[in-house]
Structure 1
Amino acid sequence: MKACVLTEPGKFEIQDLPVPEIKDDEVLLRVLTSGICVNDVRDFKGSKWSYPRVGGHEYCGVIEKIGKDVDADEIHVGDHAIPYIIDDCGICPDCKHHHENICSNFTKGKTYFNPDGLSGFFGFSEYVAVPARHIYVYSKETPDDEAAFTEPLACVINSIQRTDIQMGDDVVVIGGGVMGMLHVLCAKLRGARVIVSEPDAARREFALKLGADAVIDPSASDAVEQVKALTNGRGADVVEDTTAVPAVAAQAIEMTGKSGICNMFSSIHPNEPIPVDAGRIHSQELRITGTQNGTIETFARAIDCISKGIIDVKPLIEKVYPYEQVQEALEFAARPDTYKVMLQFSK
């Protein structure tokens, strides 16, 4: 099979690799379309994970083969499917308490470090072996490039559910990228008034087209004061920070109103400490939380929302490249003004 192998930061090679041999409880998935995540861009630029590496965790495919222990009443050859990408161990305390998305053992496997060969999720290859328990079958009528949004949308749904957005809430979404725009779409479905904080004018305009009620430019004047001006001085009921900047994380807490909740959706790079007014957290009953990955449940909800047309992800698709142009695709995806860039492997 062909695979896009990141041999070192900044350099991809299309290599011939053996098609994976599936175990009795696995399926062989032929990859159709794979989205490029910001984490793939970080790997491209140079990350702490091991190289050579085959990235790609936002992918969908067709089941080509099933192991002998797979329930043939539920999963069939020819089904279109997406995988749950967290290799949850099922044993650690996090898994036992339904926090499989932050499984303690997830990053200890070869997905991240493989001293003897390739690391990665392997969505940037023609075939992937996937445990049958991680498979979600979706309608063949669902376009592949839309189905490939399942993983990022599952992460956002986890965020939306954790912050428990209610009808009539003022919700600030910081950042107008793909994940920020998915937050806008989901928060609007929850009945919120959505304010997007984004310094890029084109992205602010796009946010309004997608349904945001108001936009602010944090580079024009103090973003906290702009939010207060839009919320009668109170601040937001919910703040979703989709950026990676420590200073913005501190600002997100400041613009959270009394009894509100602030969610750190994005990982922080560099992960520097931020000042926090602990007295205000106490006296105003602020809740500060974080969300990481999608859960088993939110993956199911994500593919349902996409396949049923509840969430329209099409406007967020910037460009689809043939996988042979992976180098060009990653360079394009690394630009700050692009939305979702994808690789197509087959139809």
Structure 2
Amino acid sequence: MKVCVLTEPGTYELQDVPIPKIKNNEVLLRVLTSGVCVNDVRDFKGSKWSLPRIGGHEYCGVVEKIGDDVDVDEIHIGDHAIPYIVDDCGVCPECKHHHENICSNFTKGTTYYNPDGFSGFKGFSEYVAVPARHLYIYPKETPDDEAAFTEPLACVINSIQRSQIKMGDDVVVIGGGVMGMLHVLCAKKQGARVIVSEPDNARRAFAQKLGADIVIDSMASDPVKQIRDITHGHGADVVEDTTALPAVAEQALEMTAKGGMCNFFSSIHPNEPIQIDAGRIHSQEIRVTGTENGTIETFARAIDCIAKGIIDVKPLIEKVYPYTQVQEALEFASRPDTYKVMLEFSK
């Protein structure tokens, strides 16, 4: 089979490798479409994970083969499916307390460091072996490029649920990229007034097209003051920071209202300490949290939202490349003005 291999920063190659042999508890997926995540872009530019690396964790596929111990009443050859990408160990305290999305042992496996071969999630491949317990079946009539949004949408639904958005809330979404726009779509479904903070003119206009009620230019003037003016001095009930900048994280806390929630959705790059007013967090009962990955539940909810047309992800698809053009796809996805780029493997 063909795989797209990151051999060094900035260089992808197509290589031939054997089709994976599945274990008794696994299924073999033939990949249909795989989304390019910002983490794939970071790997492309150079990250700490081991090389060679086969990226791609936002993928959907067709069940081609079933292991001997797989329940054939639940999973069938020909099913269209999405894998849960967190290889939760089921043993650590996090897994035992239903926090499998932050499993302590997840990053210890060969997905991140593999001294003897390929690291990576393997979605940039023609075939992937997946544990049957990680599989979600979705309707065959759901377009593959939309189904491939399951993983990013699952992450955002986890964020939305943890943020406890209520009808009538003012919700600030910082950042107008793919994940920011998914927050806009989801927060609107919760009945919130959504304010997007984004310096790029085109992205602000796009946010309004997707349903944002108000947009602000965070570079035009102090964004904290802009939010306080819009909310008559109250601040935002919920702030969703989808950017990676430490300075923006400080602003996110400052624009959060009394009794409000500030959620750090994105990883921070560089991960530098920030100044916080701990006294204000105490005296104004401000809740600060973060969200990482999707959960087992939010993956299921994401598939439902896409398959049922509750969340329309189509406007976020910027361009679909054949997998043979993986180098061009990653170079295009690395541009700051793009939304979701996808690799198509088969139909």
TM-score w.r.t. the length of structure 2 is 1.00
Alignment pair present for 1:140 and 2:140: yes
Secondary structure of the residue aligned to 1:157 is: helix
Q: Could you tell me how far 1:316 is from its partner in structure 2?
A: 0.1
Match of residue 307 from structure 2 = 307
1:82 equivalent in structure 2:
82
1:332 maps to 332
TM superposition shift of 1:10: 0.6
2:204 maps to a residue whose letter is: R
Question: Which residue of structure 2 lines up, in the alignment, with residue 211 of structure 1?
Answer: 211
Partner AA of 1:95 in structure 2: C
Deviation at 1:107, TM superposition (A): 0.2
Please list the CA deviations of residues 251-274 of structure 1 after superposition, one character each: whole Å capped at 9, or x if unmatched: 000000000000000000000000
- What SS does structure 2 have at the residue aligned with 1:61? strand
How far off is 1:246 after superposition? 0.3
**Residues 217-228 of structure 1 mapped to structure 2, 5 A cutoff:** 217-228=217-228
Query: 2 CA distance for matches of 1:279 and 1:128?
Result: 50
Q: Deviations 1:154-189 (Å, cap 9, x if unpaired)?
A: 000000000000000000000000000000000000
Q: Tell me what 2:101 maps to.
A: 101
Which amino acid is 2:98 matched to? H
Shift of 1:324: 0.4
Alignment of 1:269 with 2:269, yes or no, is yes
Within-5 A mapping of 1:186-335: 186-335=186-335
**Within 1, Cα distance between the matches of 2:229 and 2:69?**
60
Q: Deviations over 1:273-329 (max 9, x none)?
A: 000000000000000000000000000000000000000000000000000000000
1:7, CA displacement in angstroms?
Answer: 0.5
State the Cα deviation string for residues 26-66 of structure 1 (Å, max 9, x = none).
Answer: 00000000000000000000000000000000000000000
Displacement after TM superposition at 1:148 (Å): 0.1
Identical amino acids, percent of aligned pairs: 82
Matches within 5 A, 1:6-45: 6-45=6-45
Q: Secondary structure at the residue paired with 1:326?
A: helix
- 1:203: how far off? 0.2
Mapped partners of 1:194, 1:108: distance in 2? 38
Letter in 1 for 2:291: T
Letter in 1 for 2:279: G
Q: Which residue of 2 aligns with 1:182?
A: 182
The 2-side partners of 1:229 and 1:337 are apart by: 29
Distance in structure 1 (CA, Å) of the matches to 2:117 and 2:15:
14
Counterpart of 1:162?
162
Partner-residue secondary structure (3-state), 1:145: helix
Aligned residues: 347
Q: Secondary structure at the match of 1:346?
A: coil
Give the Cα–Cα distance (whole angstroms) in 2 for the partners of residues 221 and 10 of structure 1: 36
Deviation at 1:235, TM superposition (A): 0.3
Residue aligning to 1:121:
121
- Which segments of structure 1 move beyond 4 Å, counting only runs of 4 or more? none
What residue number does 2:47 align with? 47
Q: Compute the displacement of 1:91 (Å).
A: 0.1
What is the Cα deviation at residue 114 of structure 1? Answer: 0.3
Supply the distance in 2 between the matched residues of 1:99 and 1:38 (Cα, whole angstroms).
Answer: 23
Where does structure 1 lack aligned partners over 5 or more consecutive residues? none
Shift of 1:88: 0.2
* Aligned counterparts of 1:9 and 1:148: Cα–Cα separation in 2: 25
Q: Which amino acid aligns with 2:28?
A: L
> How far, CA to CA, are the matches of 1:337 and 1:244 in structure 2?
16
Task: State the alpha-carbon separation in 1 of the partners of residues 104 and 114 from structure 2.
Answer: 18
* Aligned equivalent of 1:56: 56
Report SS of the residue matched to 1:5: strand
Shift of 1:334: 0.4
Query: Quick one: distance in 1 between partners of 2:226 and 2:42?
Result: 32
> Any idea what SS the aligned residue of 1:266 has?
coil
State the one-letter code of the partner of 1:140: K
Measured after TM superposition, the shift of residue 234 of structure 1 is 0.5
Alpha-carbon distance in 2 for matches of 1:18, 1:267: 35
Q: Which amino acid aligns with 2:6?
A: L
In 1, Cα distance between equivalents of 2:82 and 2:15: 24
Distance, in Å, in 2 between the alignment partners of 1:79 and 1:222 is 51
Letter of the 2:231 partner, please give it.
Answer: T
Counterpart-to-counterpart distance in 2, 1:305 and 1:170: 23
